[in-house]
Chains A and B, each alone.
Chain A
Amino acid sequence: MSELSALAKAFCQWCSNSFFGHGVRNSVWLFPSIEIIHLLALGVLGGTILIINLRLLGVRFRNEPVSDLARELQPWMISSLAVMLVSGFFLFASEAEKMYGNSAFRAKMASLALAIVFTFTLYRKVTLSEETQMSPVWNSVAALISLVLWTGVGLAGRAIGYV
């Protein structure tokens, strides 16, 4: 076992045995309640990302500059992402040892890392730059990559319960 996976395994065990891991696992209501929060934040995060992507593709809000729309929706995107990460972490902690070996969970974390890095680097550059500096081709490319990455996160997330 490589050092990295040993570290990941130790982290999963620590989460699972922590007070919040125990707490969520042993409560009847906590897990479903956190899941509801996770889903509500999914709606808002997905909604804001979809609107920005539909604008990048030139399908909706065609008369608005991309950067205006992106700037206005950004706080909602970032805060709903934060809610998803925090609620997701508590859901994970309650089953952390099981999640360590769950291939769908691993795939979800890998695509999530990619999606976050992409969103806050290249995607951010495309959406927040002034219209004239970017070729419209890059808008479409960025939108498609964003859609693929986030859909991947969602699909892998759904798969966690089935594998």
Chain B
Amino acid sequence: MSSMGSVARLELRRLLVRPLAWVLAALTLAQLAWRFVLLLGNFLDNQVKLAGTPGAPGYTDLVGIPLLGSTLTMGILPFGLTELALLVVPLLTMSTLAGDRANSTLPLLASSGTSPAAIVLGKYFAVLLWLLGWLALTVAMPLSLAHGTHMDSGKLAAAVLGLALTLAALGAIGVACSAFASLPAVAATASLTLGLALFTANLAAQKAGVGNGVWNWLSLSTHLEALLRGLVSSADLVWFALVIVIALALAIRRVATDKERG
């Protein structure tokens, strides 16, 4: 196992022994289960109407994908996974590096010959593993009824890919904020603000009737929405990759300068 693997294992252990990760998982999954039941209820109530409409949306469109994000439904239902992620990811990532800095354990990692890249990536992959597990448990809800309905697996797979990339991007932003902050609370606030700004950057443009401008391109929701609709385009994938790479590169740079700053 590389030094990055050792850091990832250490970080995952720290994540799993703290109550925060378990409380967040329990509360958010309970809320998502409630949303799932409400979506399913609506779907069953409208069965007759849907059956008589040619080309009507099915189980995937009305239950599976809205569970992951409410950007398409905009209903008054409880939050989808995307909206919850905007809050959960900052809370999970806030201690990754800021906590080590506050505990004075970051120099210990540096003195073990572990490179700044291995420290940052190890911590990032540990958080990402937790987030992907959270996504898997959420997706298991609509999948549990797949045998009794007609599931559009391609569309659901595109949506899951979109959510996985969203979690990866928010996780990278959270780790970067944690790298720059001296206290976990500051990191969480910065990460939440950045995530919300990135998610809603296109709102003003949309209200002004601009659908294809810079603000639309900058916004996370623009790229996620396409994937939630089942459209996988390389432009969207590149956007997510860019955000992840830039955030992690900044975090690595910041940890590397810790040796110089002292």
- Interaction A to B: no
Chain B interface residues (CB < 8 Å from chain A): none
